[in-house]
Chains A and B, each alone.
Chain A
Amino acid sequence: MKACRSKGSIVFDVIIYIIMIFVLLVCLVPFLYMLAVSISEPKAIINNEVALIPVGINFEAYKQIFAYPNFFKAYGNTIFYTVVGTLIALIMTTLFAYPLSKKSLRGQKFFMKLVVFSMFFSGGLIPNYLLISSLNLTGTRFAMLVPFAINQFNLIILINFFKSIPNEIEEAALIDGLGYFGILRRIVVPLSKPALATIGLYTAVFFWNDWFNGLIYLNTDQFPVMLFLRNIVNGTSMLGDAAGSADKATIAISIKSAVIITSTLPIIILYPFLQKYFVKGLTIGSVKG
């Protein structure tokens, strides 16, 4: 169907496109600059010749990062935390959210209040540390995975999504002889892919970026890669503060850029595949049920 478009609507579209392109550039340009700097010749960087296109090709910065002892092990750790952590989080959040989405469940309101309360008030660092160490989790990989499995915000999104699934489907399934667990597994979860993908992405990004919990609860060989990358980037800010005869050699900006590229690339690659679920999951999930 060819709709007659008014002049006003065309102008409106053009303005929208211009704004969108501007926003796109704002996001893209710094990233391209980082990429260019990370693979340019150091001489060109110091003489301020690099803009968006790399000058000369030089992979020294990447070589240096990859040569960092334990870099690949740490990267493996991060992938492990992200995959296993997200899985645990999805399972636990689903198991918690499904009952809470049933208004008929007694005490549902009370548990909801508990969830919301703990969203705003937490024990703080030291009590948390003591709790996790008294559970004998410090120094084990579970310290990264279990305590952060249920995030209240994600939980509420999922509860609302579950509430939006028509009750009649579940009733029909009940009549056909499915139990509640069967309904959850065979009907609710498959219908909730968008919501699960959304909170899955949130959780994956959380686990991917998390360095602090790794720092305080884990031992060196279990550290996530972000901790190393953070150290490389922050290493330069300690410059000038060091006393005595500390090593004052600068780390080139290209290393910092390479670090940023190395750490964000996987999420950027993952994002387009989840994008389609992302918008749907978030909007539906946040509609009040």
Chain B
Amino acid sequence: MKKFISLLLVVTMVMTLLCACGKKNTDNDIVDSSKTQKETEDQTNNEADKQKEDPVKIRIYYSDNATLPFREDWLTVKEAEKMFNVEFDWEVIPIADYQTKVSLALNTGTNTPDVILYQSTKGENASLALNGALVPISDYSDFTPNFNELVKDFGLQDTVDELNLADGKRYYLPSLYDIPFYDGGLILREDFLEAEGINAPKTFDDLYGILKAYKEKNPESYPLTILAGPRVLYRMTMPSFGVSLGKNGSSGTNTLSWDYDKEEYFSGAISDGYKEYIGYLAKLYREGLLDPEMADPINGDIWSQKMATGKSMATYAYYDQIGGLEGSTEIDGYKLQMYPSLEGSAGAHHQPKSSTGSGIMFPAKTAKRDDFERIVRTIDKVFYSEEGAKLWCLGVEGVTYTEENGEIKYADELVNSEEGVYKSLQIKYGCGSDVTQMVWVNSREMTKYDENYARINKEVADMGDVIQPIPPTPLFDDMKSEDAGVLQTPLFDKFEVWADAFITGKKDVEKDWDAYVKEMKSLKIDEFCNLYNDNLAK
């Protein structure tokens, strides 16, 4: 007993000691750190008042892409700091885990940066914003004159207003596009068309003819393949049939589509447009023209193998990817070309695109800094002023490019580089990174690409409304959003099962269509559609 009591005493003593030490230390640290921070801030402010030259210090999150690793010594970064009198403390976070890090910082409010790049208020960020984790930057529009001006110049006021959340406020500064790019689409072997004397495809029937001709010459092949998964094919081709559905469908509803004339949602998954579309794919599949592995995620390497070995000759992908393939194939005369959108029953359309992209957020903590106004004004200048926009797009005048009478000429080193102007500018100088470039002017961007790409983009632009805007998102409150989720999940599951069955021929598009429609209706697709239409911002 005696032993036990003495042991207990010792343990208590040690515990108390440890706790006390810990507490003391922590307290001290907290006091110290806050004191130091405050002191530094005060100091910065006082001195800033005295002499405006002191750079503003901004801790900033950057989403790092493995194909374009961030370098603190990029010309753009150094120049931006010098030009706008700012000292960035870059937190470079791998893109694959960026969202986790942002979410943790915003959820806990500790260790948060002053500014977060490459984010929007989609998904979790919306509720974080409404719960006060972010600064409602639309309340401070006086501090962002350059941004406001661009929105006006590009005619994007309505589009930007649609980014407001349920409380009518906007919580980030999006990146802005004057005209969305046609950066990916139908890519196929031009050398085959030339050899066979076939004209460039204009409609989906033309495409069918080309695929069929290739299959006849190469019976072992599956002429049309896809990249990454069927979703790229779906989103780039469906709009020509008047629908946009499924995973990555532009509306985010998965089963509804947007009627651009009537400006309302309709049940796209059971529409005639979709029936025609899925019938077309089923026909390609039945005749061995469509890659049977299309349902699997086909990564870039397997895709390259299929294309380079001639196992496939057509695909839906991005323009950047053509060069790598042409360089590595062993087929003589191999030449790929990208074509404008093909015409379907609803005209020629491409995947709808937004004129706004991911942008800049300010965590709530930043607003507590004494120099908050200066931070926002600086960020506005760095990313949205004319000098800033040019810097992140073209680099530094006299180093990477020269401008004469509005015409841009790139340095010889860039023009003659193996990777081309666009890629060299990115890797060597940090221009054209999605994370830091907030202003995208189509005509300016086109100067970085080869003439062919600029020509296709011009052709597409001349065709009219090929790239339609992204449909509006309804303003659901939490309850409505829950209701929509409950309706959406089973509908989408059923849609996926049927889509797969239709394409692979397990179900017949003509014979089984009514059964499919009946099933979707019993899962309340119409009610789901009404819920969307009833909650659109009027």
A contact residues vs B (CB 8 Å cutoff): 42-43, 45-48, 68-69, 106-107, 125-126, 129-130, 133-136, 138-139, 212, 215-216, 219-220, 227-228, 230-232, 234-253
Contacts and interface: CB of A to CB of B under 8 A. Distances in A.
B177 interface: yes
B67 A235 contact: yes
A44 to B, nearest CB: 9
Interface of B: 3-4, 7, 11, 26, 29-30, 33, 64-72, 90-97, 100-101, 104, 107-108, 110-111, 175, 177, 181, 183-184, 227-229, 231-232, 248, 299-301, 303-305, 308-309, 317-318, 320-321, 324-325, 328-330, 353-354, 357, 423, 426, 432, 434, 440, 445
A245 B26 contact: no
Contact of A47 (B232, B300, B305, B357): B305
Contact of A48 (B30, B33, B300, B305): B305
A230 B96 contact: yes
B26 A244 contact: no
A138 B110 contact: yes
11 contacts: A46-B309, A47-B328, A106-B7, A215-B97, A234-B95, A244-B177, A244-B181, A245-B445, A247-B67, A247-B423, A250-B300
Nearest to A254: B301
Contacts of A243: 353-354, 357
Contacts of B71: 69
B308 A216 contact: no
Contact of B29 (A136, A240, A244): A136
B65 A237 contact: no
A-B residue pairs, 7 tightest by C-beta: A240-B228, A235-B66, A250-B300, A231-B94, A234-B96, A253-B301, A248-B318
A249 B320 contact: yes
A125 B357 CA distance: 30
A240 B104 contact: no
A240 B229 contact: yes
Nearest to A243: B357
Given A46-B328, A247-B65, A240 B353 contact: no
B473 to A, nearest CB: 15
B94 A228 contact: yes
Given A69-B71, A216-B104, A243-B353, A238 B308 contact: no
A245 B181 contact: yes
A115 B68 CA distance: 45
Given A239-B299, A240-B231, A249 B96 contact: no
B440 A231 contact: no
A271 B254 CA distance: 50
B464 to A, nearest CB: 21
B486 to A, nearest CB: 26
A250 B304 contact: yes
Contacts of A134: 26
Given A106-B4, A136-B29, A251 B97 contact: no
A249 B324 contact: yes
B357 A227 contact: no
Contacts of B232: 240
Given A42-B328, A69-B70, A251-B67, 12 more contacts: A136-B30, A216-B101, A230-B96, A230-B97, A235-B67, A236-B300, A244-B183, A247-B426, A248-B317, A250-B300, A250-B303, A251-B300
Nearest to B90: A220
Nearest to A105: B7
A220 B304 CA distance: 34
A47 B308 contact: yes
Contacts of A107: 7, 11
A43 B330 contact: yes
Contacts of B175: 244
A130 B111 CA distance: 10
Contact of B305 (A46, A129, A236, A249): A46
Contacts of A125: 104
A250 to B, nearest CB: 3
B291 to A, nearest CB: 15
A227 B432 CA distance: 24
Contact of B330 (A47, A212, A235): A47
B67 A249 contact: yes
Contacts of A239: 227-228, 299-300
Contacts of B7: 106-107
B58 to A, nearest CB: 15
A238 B299 CA distance: 10
Contact of A230 (B33, B69, B94, B231): B94
Contacts of B184: 248
A130 B320 contact: no
B416 to A, nearest CB: 19
A211 B92 CA distance: 15
Contacts of A249: 67, 320-321, 324, 423
B93 A139 contact: no
B110 A133 contact: yes
B434 A244 contact: yes
Contacts of A234: 66, 94-96
Contacts of B229: 240
A236 B183 CA distance: 18
Nearest to A231: B94
A212 B30 CA distance: 26
Nearest to B419: A249
B382 to A, nearest CB: 20
B502 to A, nearest CB: 23
Nearest to A45: B301
Interface centre among A69, A238, A239 (most CB of B within 10 A): A239
Contacts of B70: 69
Contacts of A43: 328, 330
B4 A244 contact: no
B308 A46 contact: yes
Given A47-B329, A248-B320, A250-B301, A68 B91 contact: no
A130 B67 contact: no
B447 to A, nearest CB: 14
A139 to B, nearest CB: 7
A129 B97 CA distance: 16
Interface centre among B111, B175, B184, B301 (most CB of A within 10 A): B301
A138 B248 CA distance: 37
B520 to A, nearest CB: 27
B201 to A, nearest CB: 22
A45 B304 CA distance: 10
Given A43-B328, A47-B329, A240 B227 contact: yes
Contact of B440 (A136, A220, A241, A244): A244
Contacts of A244: 175, 177, 181, 183, 353, 357, 434, 440
A237 B229 CA distance: 11
B67 A46 contact: no
Nearest to A43: B328
Given A133-B110, A216-B104, A235-B67, A46 B304 contact: yes
B12 to A, nearest CB: 12
Contact of B101 (A45, A126, A215): A215
B92 A106 contact: no
A227 B91 CA distance: 14
A220 B92 contact: yes
Contacts of B354: 243
Interface centre among B26, B300, B354 (most CB of A within 10 A): B300
